[in-house]
Amino acid sequence: MTGGLFAGYDHDGFFDEVFTADGEVRPHYRALVARLGLFSADELARRERLRDAAFRTQGITFTVYGEEEDVERTFPMDLIPRIIPPDEWAEVERGLVQRVDALNRFLDDLYVGEQAIIRDGIVPRWMVLSSDGFERQAAGLAVPHSSRCVVAGIDLVRDADGTYRVLEDNLRNPSGISYVLENRAAMTRVLSLAFTDHRVRSVDHYGAMLLGALRHVAPPAAGDDPTVVVLTPGVYNSAYFEHAFLARQMGVELVEGRDLVVDDHVVSMRTTHGLRRVDVIYRRIDDDFLDPVVFRPDSQLGVPGLMAAARAGTVTIANAAGNGVADDKAIYAFVPEIIRYYLGEDPILASVPTYLLDEPDHRAEVLDRLGDLVVKPVAESGGYGMLIGPAASDAEIEAFRHKLEADPRGYIAQEVVSLSRHPTLIDDHLEGRHVDLRPFVISGEKIEVIPGGLTRVALRRGSLVVNSSQGGGSKDTWVLAPDRDLKRPGDRAEGAELERVEGDDRRETTQMPAVGVDGDQTEHTPGGVQP
């Protein structure tokens, strides 16, 4: 164990991302720990103020719900980054690609295939048909190249042994990527020299990666230069800033439903020069609001006739309608078998042991062990509506018992995973806080993963809930590159481009005279979301 900021740091009881069980610093963290040893608590506090000022200036905020009133805050980003070594990331990346490949095949089989996986008894028909995310209106609606999950956010945790496990699949409108990019931009300002100690893989090609994938799924009639737009519910949506951020990153139009019109099964957007045909819509609104002709008739957010245009093959909607059936938390329990069925491979990434309440044996065990398990509603997200048994009161457990007995299909139960912890700056010292990781997987010409993703951190002591909507924060996530990859296009090391950073690093520069830096070259775009 080292001193300074780490003096008194308690790494016992959980898998610690930085320290081994013996208290030794893991090899890929040694340079960072040495770098942090140069800072006083006052110096880190000063850099936190710089970070907060930058976030306020750029409008990087989020809304916390459930308090006396909704409160908009700057997004809490911890200054201590998470580091993932290249060999470890390579295995995670392979597992993510495998999983999303299988889920794309599963969705295609359900909506335009023979539903072979149901016919062969791998996934029960009633389970699919009873899912809130299964959209009968999407039956027969093909997607070019079967890329139904153009953007997937797969939530990972590490258990007590350090094993990565998939916690959830987010296949509809996963958010948070703007934080990934803005966190990196902020870190290059406030801890710039730390990058020179590491070969950190860049994330700033995400916009190009996403645009390439969206163009790849354009209808064949769109030709070589398809028009892509981002469809947002509007400025009152909590993730609006991410929608604007992504449109700007890709250099495409950000539109609302009222900006689009469908005529003769062709979608066009209104511009100052008249109507312009649209080929691909990256929608950030839910299925229910996409098209009032097909889904909710009272929707003011969608576009009448949009689904008919998609069915005619003149426009592609990404992500595809009906993806929710594959990230239904009850379907999650079948994903290992879905991977084996479509790919003939064993899953690379482990799952969390899951109980289905519709199965009598499972239900009996869950009701007997409610105080030991985590219970989740199958159609909720954001950490809402959960029961964390070990932290629940007797009254809360009894209330959930009634809910499960009344609606067993509506819930699953999982074993509690002792989430790994990471040193996190709390006031003037470091404490361990539980973390997860949401990598973003893009299905285009091939399935790719942006290096790292969004590390979310539960800022409350002992809390397992990392969602920012419930008081969580985030960390910049550094995936280290092996030397051989540094010259690969779009995969440079962040530290390699840092020629200048802001004057705030002058004190650090004095301590590390080999590198002279006093300005930042990263382009910043306002952004803010609520993952």
For 7-59, what is each residue's pLDDT tens digit? 788 888 899 999 999 999 999 999 999 988 888 888 888 888 888 888 877 77
Contact between 293 and 307 (Cβ < 8 Å): yes
Contact between 527 and 75 (Cβ < 8 Å): no
What are the Cα distances from residue 93, in Å, to 54, 485, 501? 32, 15, 31
The three-state DSSP-derived secondary structure of 95-128 is HHHHHHHHHHHHHHHHHCCCCHHHHCCCCCHHHH
Which tokens is 53 given? 């000022």
When pLDDT is cut at 50, 70 and 90, the band that residue 245 belongs to is: very high
Rounded Cα–Cα distance for residues 55 and 377 (Å): 34
Nearest to 336 by CA among 106, 69, 493: 106
Q: Peptide bond preceding 323: is omega within 30 degrees of 0, i.e. cis?
A: no
Q: H or E stretch including 155?
A: strand 151-158
264: left (phi over 0), alpha (psi -120 to 50) or beta: left
The side-by-side arrangement of strands in the sheet containing 266-271 is: 260-263, 266-271, 274-277
Contact between 505 and 192 (Cβ < 8 Å): yes
**Whether pLDDT at 474 is above 60:** yes
Rounded Cα–Cα distance for residues 170 and 381 (Å): 9
Handedness of CA 113, 118, 124, 125 (dihedral sign): positive
Question: DSSP assignment, residue 515?
Answer: -
When pLDDT is cut at 50, 70 and 90, the band that residue 382 belongs to is: low
The pLDDT of 500-529, averaged and rounded, is 31
pLDDT in tens, 165-205: 999 999 999 999 999 999 999 999 888 888 888 999 999 99
pLDDT recorded at residue 525: 27
pLDDT recorded at residue 468: 66
**Whether pLDDT at 271 is above 60:** yes
- What lies within 8 Å, CB to CB, of 499 at 6+ separation is 517, 521
N-terminal to C-terminal alpha carbon distance within the chain: 34
Share of the chain above pLDDT 70, in %: 86
**Whether pLDDT at 496 is above 90:** no
pLDDT in tens, 421-453: 999 998 888 999 999 999 999 999 999 999 999
DSSP-assigned beta bridge partners for residue 457:
435, 473
DSSP-assigned beta bridge partners for residue 438:
454
- The beta-strand segments (E) located in 301-450 are 316-318, 350-351, 354-356, 373-377, 387-388, 411-415, 421-426, 429-438, 440-443, 447-449
Contact between 68 and 48 (Cβ < 8 Å): no
pLDDT recorded at residue 380: 72
Contact between 354 and 333 (Cβ < 8 Å): yes
Rounded Cα–Cα distance for residues 316 and 279 (Å): 6
- The beta-strand segments (E) located in 192-326 are 228-231, 253-255, 260-263, 266-271, 274-277, 280-283, 316-318
Give the ranges where 11-69 is alpha helix by DSSP (H): 30-36, 41-58
Rounded Cα–Cα distance for residues 319 and 312 (Å): 17
pTM of the model: 0.88
What are the Cα distances from residue 123, in Å, to 71, 337, 405? 42, 8, 23
**Residue with tokens 């090609």, as numbered in its chain:** 205
When pLDDT is cut at 50, 70 and 90, the band that residue 495 belongs to is: very low
Rounded Cα–Cα distance for residues 72 and 12 (Å): 35
pLDDT in tens, 68-115: 555 666 678 999 999 999 999 999 999 999 999 999 999 999 999 999
Nearest to 522 by CA among 17, 7, 58: 58
Range with lowest mean pLDDT among 257-261, 286-290, 291-295, 471-475: 471-475
Rounded Cα–Cα distance for residues 516 and 506 (Å): 8
Rounded Cα–Cα distance for residues 306 and 191 (Å): 47
Range with lowest mean pLDDT among 30-39, 150-159, 299-308, 354-363: 30-39
